[in-house]
Structure 1
């Protein structure tokens, strides 16, 4: 190769860890890419990274973490983009495509308390910091006595805020902690029956230009079919609900042989109402099952539900 393969990514420690994992898998699959300089990691600062004084909901949604990266991809300034799939909007820009997902990490949420106590024994009135309405809603549904405040920033920033006493506890994706070698900070790993994860949590997706056959071929050996099936079902549920950072939605798909099981949840932001659904069916029909689950949840929604 005469030109380096350019991987676009955000600059947070977690995003870089995911880009480095992609680079290393590419180099292992293609010996030519193991040569010095064969792969270049391009750090792109996104709007979501620049805005730290507001929640994503107030700033405009989770697409703020992908917009600039996708602009560089469309303009051929990079050859592929590495994303946390839970940050990727349901609809992609025309001409771009997620063609590969790496094997999914553990999708569960980690609860971290400054005092080392579990969620159910956190003192009454304790403060939990999170920027996620999904986490907020499920925490308040289980513990309405707690107070939830906005917590923005990368993993290290949120852990520093916790250590500085800005909150008594916080929540982070276990997948991110594991990729950073920091899983030992978790006080408790929350079962999905307690905290249903975000759509695609723990999955890394790789986006390319749809007409870039060469990069598509390079990525083919890295693709995890099971992850793609699970995430496809979860994102289909999200698409029916028109999900965004303004809507507390959780979903988790599992595959057992040829069968897919999908749990979905929509909650009012204050946690007073939590609606759930579950579907099972052929894994080959993941998108249809996800759409059915989304429609089942949508049918339960009373008027003004998200203004609760």
Structure 2
């Protein structure tokens, strides 16, 4: 069967008969999932987002013995990509990076969506589920310095650009003398702004740089014990329709259980706090060899003037409960009204 497909570069062409024969031979020999159905992968259009979608496609190809032509990458522009002149906290939060992609899932335009886990809201639209996490990348943040190679070496009053309230709040707590400004845009945009002298330094996720083979631009890798990551940082997640058993079965072959467990704890922490990019929240879950899960959670005021953190551990099977109990601990320490007035 010949079918028109559209590749990541936007060019349409027909899937070659050889690819069809390869899939049928793979099925005859007892291989993985085989179907005439072209799997449409929805993603944002940044270089990082396309690298993540390509990784998902490559893993699915390897897991099921399918050719590249069995997958069609659909680039979807999101509100978060288009609105660059205001902080996300003023225009609706991180859901702006997933809303249009989730709508495409719901209306059947795509079959699965690839997201950075930290961009996904704790409450999904009805009919959708997080069906698989890929093995987690490096969770750490990095500093990229123009005026100095490390945060500690920055001169008094230096300007650091970041789009993340979490990063801004931790920076202000560590270095109240710094001038912290909003830096919106994808990785390449932020690096361009830095090169133009709009700031003396910026912060990015190590995972994203690794996925784009750009780790060399980091001048300092930050200790996650001191500078903890956002919940979900470093993990790619696949979202799909609950009623699509075919896609669920396909992505199950590349799902990483340890990452899913850790993210369940971190998202539980976030959900209990009702957190979003409007609130500076950090969380990192680690699973020991004996199955013990430890969660380090933190909340801060945006100006860094107040911070509360906790560590809670338990069995990995109780991941969500561990996250929620950790959130209750920091909320109790912070007292009523900690998030009032600056989360709207």
TM-score bucket (shorter structure)? over 0.9
Q: Tell me the equivalent position of 2:63.
A: 29
Q: Does 1:278 align with 2:311?
A: yes
Q: Give the Å deviation of 1:150.
A: 0.4
Q: Give the Å deviation of 1:20.
A: 0.2
Distance, in Å, in 2 between the alignment partners of 1:50 and 1:133 is 19
1:279-305 CA distances to partner (integer Å, 9 max, x unpaired)?
011011101100100111111223443
Distance, in Å, in 2 between the alignment partners of 1:165 and 1:60 is 29
Distance, in Å, in 1 between the alignment partners of 2:129 and 2:211 is 25
Which is greater in Rg?
A: 2
Distance, in Å, in 2 between the alignment partners of 1:8 and 1:210 is 16
Moved over 3 A (4+): none
Distance, in Å, in 2 between the alignment partners of 1:241 and 1:305 is 11
Q: Tell me the equivalent position of 1:186.
A: 218
May I ask how many residue pairs the two structures share in their alignment?
306
Distance, in Å, in 1 between the alignment partners of 2:150 and 2:337 is 33
Q: Give the Å deviation of 1:200.
A: 0.3
Distance, in Å, in 2 between the alignment partners of 1:267 and 1:104 is 25
Q: Does 1:18 align with 2:26?
A: no
- 1:222 pairs, out of 240, 250, 254, with 254
Q: Give the Å deviation of 1:117.
A: 2.1
- 2:333 pairs, out of 278, 300, 305, with 300
Tell whether the 8 Å contact from 2:265 to 2:323 is kept in structure 1 after alignment: yes
Normalising by the residue count of structure 1, what TM-score does the alignment of the two structures yield? 0.97
1:138-177 CA distances to partner (integer Å, 9 max, x unpaired)?
0111100101000000000000000100000100000000
Q: Does 1:207 align with 2:239?
A: yes
Q: Tell me the equivalent position of 2:279.
A: 247
1:241-269 CA distances to partner (integer Å, 9 max, x unpaired)?
00011110000000112100100000010
Q: Give the Å deviation of 1:116.
A: 4.0
Normalising by the residue count of structure 2, what TM-score does the alignment of the two structures yield? 0.87
Corresponding residue SS for 1:90 = coil
Corresponding residue SS for 2:40 = strand
1:79-126 CA distances to partner (integer Å, 9 max, x unpaired)?
000000000001001110001000000011011111342111110000
- Give me the CA root mean square deviation: 1.0
Corresponding residue SS for 2:310 = strand
Q: Tell me the equivalent position of 1:94.
A: 126
Distance, in Å, in 1 between the alignment partners of 2:338 and 2:245 is 44
Corresponding residue SS for 1:37 = helix
Q: Tell me the equivalent position of 1:234.
A: 266
Q: Tell me the equivalent position of 1:264.
A: 297
Distance, in Å, in 2 between the alignment partners of 1:105 and 1:3 is 30
1:37-65 CA distances to partner (integer Å, 9 max, x unpaired)?
21000000011111011111111100000
- 1:177 pairs, out of 209, 229, 240, with 209
Q: Specify every segment of 5 or more residues in structure 2 that has no aligned partner in the other structure, as ranges.
A: 1-34
Tell whether the 8 Å contact from 2:148 to 2:154 is kept in structure 1 after alignment: no
